[in-house]
Amino acid sequence: MAPVNQPKDKKHERAHERWPEEAKSAGKRKPDYEELGNEPQAKRLFVRKTSKPPEKIGRSGGGSMVRNNRVLFHQLDRQCSIVHYVYQNMLGGSIRAQLRQCLQLPFLRSLASYRLFRTASPFDRRVTCLEWHPTHPSTVAVGSKGGDIILWDYEVLTKTCFIKGKGPGDSLGDIKFSPYEAVKLYVASGDGTLSLQDLEGRAVQVISRAPDCGHELILCSLGLMLCCCFFCWYCSVDVSASCRAVVTGDNVGNVVLLSTSGEEIWKLKLHRKKVTHVEFNSRCEWLLATASVDQTVKIWDLRNIKNKMNFLHVLPHDKPVNAAYFSPTDGAKLLSTDQRSEIRVYSSSDWTKPQHLIPHPHRQFQHLTPIKATWHPRYDLIVAGRYPDPKFPGYTVNELRTVDLNKFNPMGDTLASGMGFNILIWSREEMVAKKQEHLLKAMTEQGIGSWSLSRRGGQRQANPGTSKLKANLLSWELEEMRTKSNDSKSQGRKRKGKDLEN
């Protein structure tokens, strides 16, 4: 039972010899992604443009900006004239793609000014999944390794809904809002169930149990509280409004298609190992993607799935795959993240090879939430969490802590992150300042001592490492508050800020 620790020297030796060739060669390649923002680590964002390799054009203020080339910049500036678009539109031309391209540049620039808006640490285990509310712009649902779910409106001081999980073994693999009732969540849990959780009424409806999940029978027949033997559990879910269907994948390679109310349509073993991700294509209702630890992503025609071999396409990877997301803008691209150092972008025009292969450190570790690169909802951009690796080309010693999960909201102007036990909300500086001011006002009115949501009510933690982090996050917020207070010359607020710090 006790973990066996190898001597350090052997460990390092192994790590070195195990570093994959592709990463070494990747080191020679020009970095294919751009880094926005600056220290501290938690404030850095990595965004990739899925077009041409970028060229670094210098640093300003707190972050570095990269763009393709000067010529493109100039062309875009010219093309970005509204008159140009109106004219094109009048001629009957499609301006959508161009307009998007044009708006992408200012958006990229704005990323340099992203700041932490709020943080929350409501769980007793780490964050495992995160979903934005489909219609409410400032609400996120986050799930934890202990089965807890929080629905959090971060623009309101204390507007949260918390559903307690079962603790060990109830790790939430994935959550999805119901497309019909936004107060309901489909939840894939490590306890072997797929359920529909009502966030208002708190009712849970178990809509499916993973095959061979016989632990309850064992408990009943023996009449003892033996250790739970879970053979199977669900790891991923997706819901299709147009198909009125739910897909889920389990830890041994099965994929199950269900009606939204839970009637099983089929259950097939489509992968050799754990199905880490399942997703319907938003533009093509019969198209399904599945990603697996068996190192493949498979694209399926839902109207014709018989066995693990009759996929439309297989996308072989060099390592297990954590996720494969279709692009939200047109559904024509697929973004995959492996368990070592690759992010790939495939295009539906040619599934045989990746369109882009991005070297990026995010290796698998048992006690870290698997990193999954996600799309920006409107632009041809992706965000990815990072697990700094001393062996990865370009590693610097001050890379301290990592962000595991990252998702932009449907509007595309706010980013929610999962970082260990913490949930972070990022937005543009001016937006943050305005909203924090608003929160501060509410705080003083209600006499609330802290707006950093924590399961300990904002108290300092016993562990020095954690409290340092929390204090940093809090003090950063306070620092912002003080700056604001100075601007608006409110002595009372200054005092309040100081009090909060203690």
Where does this chain bind DNA (CB under 7 A)? 1-6, 10-11, 14-15, 18, 124-126, 145, 168-169, 171, 190, 227-228, 230, 251, 273-274, 276, 293, 319-320, 339, 363-368, 370, 389, 401, 420-421, 461-463, 465-466
DSSP state of 39: S
Give which of 346, 333, 420, 344 is closest to 385, Cα–Cα: 420
Q: How far is the CB of 22 from DNA (least distance, A)?
A: 15
Q: Is 346 exposed, middle or buried (0-12, 13-18, 19+ CB in 10 A)?
A: buried
Which residues are paired to 298 by β-bridges?
Answer: 290, 314
Of residues 67 and 363, the one with the C-beta less far from DNA = 363
Q: HEC profile for 329-393? A: CCCCEEEEEECCCEEEEEECCECCCCCEEEECCCCCCCCCCCCCCEECCCCCEEECCCCCCCCCC
List helix spans (H) across 335-418.
none
Q: How far is the CB of 15 from DNA (least distance, A)?
A: 5
Of residues 274 and 496, the one with the C-beta less far from DNA = 274
Q: How far is the CB of 16 from DNA (least distance, A)?
A: 9
Q: How far is the CB of 330 from DNA (least distance, A)?
A: 29
Whether 182 contacts 201, CB under 8 Å: no
Q: Is 199 exposed, middle or buried (0-12, 13-18, 19+ CB in 10 A)?
A: buried
Of residues 128 and 427, the one with the C-beta less far from DNA = 128
Whether 148 contacts 190, CB under 8 Å: no
Q: How many CB atoms sit inside 10 A of residue 348's CB?
A: 19
If residue 385 lies in a helix (H) or strand (E), which one and from where to where? none
Of residues 187 and 245, the one with the C-beta less far from DNA = 187
Of residues 111 and 130, the one with the C-beta less far from DNA = 130
Q: How far is the CB of 126 from DNA (least distance, A)?
A: 7
Of residues 404 and 477, the one with the C-beta less far from DNA = 404
Of residues 281 and 322, the one with the C-beta less far from DNA = 322
Q: How far is the CB of 174 from DNA (least distance, A)?
A: 12
Dihedrals phi, psi of 496, to nearest 5 degrees: -55, -45
Q: Which residue has the tokens 């404030």?
A: 43
**Angstrom distances, CA of residue 360 to CA of 17, 165, 450:** 19, 33, 36
Of residues 100 and 401, the one with the C-beta less far from DNA = 401
Task: Give the separation between CA 415 and CA 174, rounded to whole angstroms.
Answer: 18
Q: How far is the CB of 217 from DNA (least distance, A)?
A: 16
Q: How far is the CB of 384 from DNA (least distance, A)?
A: 17
- Three-class SS state of 292: strand
